[in-house]
Amino acid sequence: RQAGFRIFGRAEVAIVDRTRALEIDEPGDLVVARSLAPLFERPEAIDIDALVTDFDGVHTDDRVSIGGDGMERITASRADGIGVDMLRKAGYPLLILSRETNRVVTARGRKLGVEVRQGVEVKAVVLAAWAKTRGIELSRIAYVGNDINDVGCMEIVGWPIAVADAHPEVLAVARVVLTQHGGHGAIREVAERILLAADKPSTSSPRSA
C-alpha cells in the first residue's frame, strides 16, 4: 500500500470512502459522477489575518445606475453584508480600497462598519502602508479583486483572490478563484472560507486588533 493506493501488479487501486464511492460501468454513470462531484468537494480554507477588497465588481456587480439627480446608485448583496459582519465579529481587520471617489462607497463602508480608502491611484502602495501600520505581514493578507487595477495588490499579498467573473489578467494571478460573481455572494464565500481556516489549529501569529 502506497499513499492510499494498493498496488496489484501494474494496476493501481485507490481506496475511497464508501460514502463517496460511485460505480461507473457505462458512459452514463460517468456523466452522473461528474455532476455529483462538486457536492463532495470541500472548499480550500483561506488562512489569513486580514482582508482587503476592491469595491466595484467585488461588493457590486460592477454596474451602476444614474438617477435623474445625477447620483450614482449600486446594488449590493445582503449575503455579502452578513459575511463582512461575521469577519468583523471574529476580529479580522478589513479594508475597502477604491480607485473612484464616490459617496455610495462611503455609505456602504459605513453600513458595513469597514474602513474605506478612496481615490487611490496606486492601490498596492496604500495597501502596503496600511498593513505596516497594522503590523500585519503582507503574506497574511487576502486581497479580492476583479479588474486590472487590482493586479498590483494581488501580486504583493499571500492570498490574491479573484471573483468568478474577473478579468482574465486577474484570474491569471489569483491563488483562489471564487465560485461567486462580484455583488452576488463573493464576499460571503470568502468570509466562510476564512472562518473555515479559523476553526483549524494554526501556527501563525495572532491577528492584529
Task: Measure the CA–CA gap between 156 and 138, rounded to whole angstroms.
Answer: 7
Mean pLDDT (whole number) for 94-117: 94
**pLDDT confidence of residue 20:** 59
| Mean pLDDT across the chain | 84
**pLDDT confidence of residue 63:** 74
Q: C-alpha cell of 139?
A: 503574506
Give per-residue pLDDT as tens, 29-75: 767 766 665 555 667 899 999 999 999 999 999 776 676 666 677 78
Give per-residue pLDDT as tens, 114-149: 999 999 999 999 999 999 999 999 999 999 999 999
**pLDDT confidence of residue 18:** 58
Most confident of 1-15, 100-114, 129-143: 129-143
**pLDDT confidence of residue 62:** 72
**pLDDT confidence of residue 43:** 77
Mean pLDDT (whole number) for 19-28: 69
Burial of 197 (0-12, 13-18, 19+ CB in 10 A): middle
Task: Determine phi and psi for 136, rounding to 5 degrees.
Answer: -110, 130
Task: Measure the CA–CA gap between 145 and 156, rounded to whole angstroms.
Answer: 13
Give the contacts of 174 (CB within 8 A, at least 6 positions apart).
154, 160, 161, 162, 166
Task: Measure the CA–CA gap between 180 and 143, rounded to whole angstroms.
Answer: 15
Give the contacts of 136 (CB within 8 A, at least 6 positions apart).
49, 50, 93, 207, 208
**pLDDT confidence of residue 34:** 65
Which among 127, 45, 57, 61 has a CA at the least distance from the CA of 94? 127
CB 182 within 8 A of CB 60: yes
Per-residue pLDDT for 190 more than 80? yes
Alpha carbons within 13 A on the beta-carbon side of 88: 14
Q: What percent of the chain has pLDDT over 70?
A: 75
**pLDDT confidence of residue 12:** 56
**pLDDT confidence of residue 76:** 82
Pairing of strands 50-53, 141-145: parallel
